Amino acid sequence: MKGLDISVVVSLYNEEESLPELAAWVDRVAQANHLSYELIFVDDGSSDNSWQIVEMLKERYPAIRGIRFSRNYGKSAALYCGFAAAEGEVVITMDADLQDSADEIPALRRMILEDGYDLVSGWKKKRYDPIGKRWPSKFFNWTARRASGIRLHDFNCGLKAYRRKVVKSIEVYGEMHRFIPILAKQAGFRRIGEKVVEHHARKYGHSKFGLERTVKGYLDLISVLFMTHFGRSPMYFFGSLGTLMFLLGGGTTCWLIGEKLWKQFHDLPLRAVTDQPLFYLAILAVILGVQLFLAGFLGELINRNSTDRNKYLIDKTL
């Protein structure tokens, strides 16, 4: 399909109850706004009847496309494959649990096409999640804003709109779906906007994310900031730090040895170099410096020869 107005990419995992309503909702919005569309369901290895529901919906709505993983790879993998398959002028992502409103799609599309944004992120200003989920999310978003310089209130919001060239230019892997705005900015797409969107209480099932999501979020933030700055050249980080430690340790060792020789030459009281704790700290710095430098060198070799970062076993497609 060519010349589509929008591609809606939905990552799902065990969401069989909500899929018929979501498909009907997206179709209704698209028809009401005269938008040609495709709805791409990416089944991330569901163990319920989600894929059978997608196959059934495909018969009712020809615009539906489906991708099914043989096992659960995670949301980032699902979005990566969905982005690769998307053919619409504007790509919309949303969750499958009906908490994101499909009614927001036309406005998000207008912000991309008419206001000139490369990416528009939803902001669930009024959320219907438990307080144990809201406050950690607020703190996480505050940290992400400060670290990235991107003024978004809700990095985690699944409802986002992208210019097509954005999703074709960024690489989403691991657990980096939370930080797509950061990845887009690092790829040169700096027109990033935000829109307050309607949020609904979960109607079916339960959340697939627990408390560990907060911890993983911070670890992922450190990873993405490192990868965006040094991912292509890890030697810049490890090599620089290793060289600094090597020079510091080596310089200290030379100074201690030089000091001993000078005192020995002038018949001054001296202390054996090996009796000084500073000598062992200096040697440790030299060893760590060499190890860090080698880590950067190995990272460069691995990075330049890696060809299978984003290989996922797709079981079926529609």
pLDDT digits 0-9 by tens, 43-63: 999 999 999 999 999 999 999
Per-residue pLDDT band for 103 (boundaries 50, 70, 90) equals very high
- On the question of pLDDT at 208 being above 70, the answer is no
CA separation for the pair 28, 90 (Å, rounded):
18
- On the question of pLDDT at 316 being above 50, the answer is yes
Q: Identify the pLDDT of residue 202.
A: 75
What does the block give as tokens for 80?
A: 């990566």
- On the question of pLDDT at 303 being above 70, the answer is no
Look at 309 and 277; give whichever has higher pLDDT. Answer: 277
8 A C-beta contact, residue 123 and residue 43? no
Q: Identify the pLDDT of residue 305.
A: 65
- On the question of pLDDT at 203 being above 50, the answer is yes
- On the question of pLDDT at 209 being above 60, the answer is no
What's phi and psi for 39, nearest 5 deg?
Answer: -115, 110
Give tens-digit pLDDT for 138-163: 777 888 888 788 889 888 889 999 99
Please state which architecture CATH assigns to domain 6-230.
Alpha-Beta Complex (3.90)
Q: What is the pTM of this model?
A: 0.73
Q: Which residue in 281, 284, 257 sits closest to 271, CA to CA?
A: 257
For the chain, give the percent of residues with pLDDT over 70: 84
Q: Mean pLDDT lowest for which of 25-34, 109-118, 174-183?
A: 174-183
Look at 153 and 207; give whichever has higher pLDDT. Answer: 153
Enumerate the β-bridge partners of residue 10.
Answer: 41, 94
Q: Which residue in 8, 13, 193 sits closest to 103, CA to CA?
A: 8
Helix axes 19-32, 50-60, angle to 10 degrees: 30
For the chain, give the percent of residues with pLDDT over 90: 52
Mean pLDDT of 93-112: 95
What does the block give as tokens for 290?
A: 């060499």
Look at 285 and 297; give whichever has higher pLDDT. Answer: 285
CA separation for the pair 230, 228 (Å, rounded):
6
Q: Identify the pLDDT of residue 27.
A: 97
26-29: which pairs have CB atoms within 8 A and are 24 or more residues apart? 26/102, 26/105, 27/61, 27/63, 28/102, 29/102, 29/103, 29/105, 29/106
CA separation for the pair 94, 10 (Å, rounded):
6
CA separation for the pair 18, 20 (Å, rounded):
6
Per-residue pLDDT band for 177 (boundaries 50, 70, 90) equals confident
Q: Identify the pLDDT of residue 231.
A: 63
Q: Nearest-5° angle of CA 120, CA 125, CA 128?
A: 120
Three-state DSSP string of the chain? CCCCCEEEEEEECCCCCCHHHHHHHHHHHHHHCCCCEEEEEEECCCCCCHHHHHHHHHHHCCCEEEEEECCCCCHHHHHHHHHHHCCCCEEEEEECCCCECHHHHHHHHHHHHCCCCCEEEEECCCCCCCHHHHHHHHHHHHHHHHHHCCCCCCCCCCCEEEEHHHHCCCCCCCCHHHHHHHHHHHCCCCCEEEEECCECCCCCCCCCCCCHHHHHHHHHHHHHHHHHHHCCCHHHHHHHHHHHHHHHHHHHHHHHHHHHHHHHHCCCCCCCHHHCHHHHHHHHHHHHHHHHHHHHHHHHHHHHHCCCCCCCCEEEEC
Per-residue pLDDT band for 290 (boundaries 50, 70, 90) equals very high
Q: Mean pLDDT lowest for which of 78-92, 124-138, 170-184?
A: 124-138
- On the question of pLDDT at 164 being above 70, the answer is yes
Per-residue pLDDT band for 1 (boundaries 50, 70, 90) equals very low
